[in-house]
Amino acid sequence: MSALSPLRTFVDSAKWLKGTSMSSSYFFVEAPVEESAVLHWFRGLEHQPEETVKADNSLFFFRQFGGLEYDEGGKIDPSLSPLIRVFPTKIRRQSLWTVGEVHFFAKGSSPCGKNMAKLQRRFQTWLHSCEQIYGPPLQSDNDFSYYLEGGVTSWTPKIFALPTGLTAIKSGQYFVNRESNDHVLDSVCKTLRLRGVICA
């Protein structure tokens, strides 16, 4: 069986991320352009991973670090497999942008753990070269937090701004949680309309 078939099933499962133990997660803001800088970073690695793309995210499989591992139920076990999932920034309600996410899943004790940990440190160094806009040691009520809506500040430990994201938030762009439902977005839009922001 090829790797792409189970990966496609894995990606298409809407519930797989919930309840999954993630080794590390990173959060960022950038402009919602076709070529995300974060996706570009992973695609530009010297040993290119296999990428499975959906409308709102990409799953990267680093075959050179090991094969896919399965649980007792025959489903891919992300905690033992060399997988990374990236959710780039997307537009919601015409004027809201989502906070981007990167999730590393492999545990350090897994067969691929050592190599994935090295890759994670490389990515972290790259991302942390960008300006931090939320999370310690910054004050929770710093100037940028005003533009983080939809529960973003309740679940993201730190957020870094890529150049396009930094320019946007300095210009008054609002960001929301990727998983914000319609009820939350309705509430955010109601508040922002009072600030003169067009929000459908």
**Domain range summary for the chain, segments of one domain joined by +:** 4-194
Which residue blocks in the chain are alpha helix, DSSP H? 4-12, 37-43, 113-127, 152-155, 163-170, 182-194
Structure-token pair, residue 48:
């290119």
Question: Quick one: 89 exposed, middle or buried, by C-beta within 10 A (0-12, 13-18, 19+)?
Answer: buried
Confidence (pTM) = 0.89
The pLDDT tens digits of the residues spanning 151-171 come to: 898 888 899 999 999 999 999
Residue 3 binned pLDDT confidence (cut-offs 50, 70, 90): low
Residue 139 binned pLDDT confidence (cut-offs 50, 70, 90): confident
